[in-house]
Amino acid sequence: MTQSQKITTINLSIPITVNRIADLLACAIEGGSNYWAAFSTPHNDFYDLAHTQWELIVHDKFTNKLYILTLQRLHKALHIMALSYPTHIKEFLNQNEDAQTGDILLQLATFNSLLYN
């Protein structure tokens, strides 16, 4: 391998507002994840991620298990998406997200991987 063919890795820090994360979450809640999940929140607003006690309760319809998502879990899911699903993170960053991208975020936040297609 020549010097010009060596591969390097760079880490980037990209600011993302909670409003943009809420937009992507809406893609999941309003269509992308309805085939496997039902949702509730103790704060009556699914998308108020700026609320200090924000939580989303995810009910897995297939296993009947409940999961509690926090903003920290969504942040972690975005990191996983950036590393493992670059096409979808690119669509999100370009403000071209859809139900599938929202579903990927929600599954990564819930399970740390994709379980359902």
At 61-85, the pLDDT tens digits run: 999 999 999 999 999 999 999 999 9
Q: By C-alpha distance, which of 39, 29, 35 is closest to 116?
A: 35
Range from 8-22, 35-49, 97-111 carrying the lowest mean pLDDT: 8-22
Domain ranges of the chain: 16-111
Q: Which residues lie across from 11 on neighbouring strands?
A: none
From the CB of residue 66, how many other CB atoms can be counted at a distance below 10 Å?
A: 11
Average pLDDT, the chain: 90
pTM across the whole model: 0.87
The C-alpha atoms of residue 63 and residue 108 are separated, in whole angstroms, by 17
CB 102 within 8 A of CB 33: yes
From the CB of residue 102, how many other CB atoms can be counted at a distance below 10 Å?
A: 23
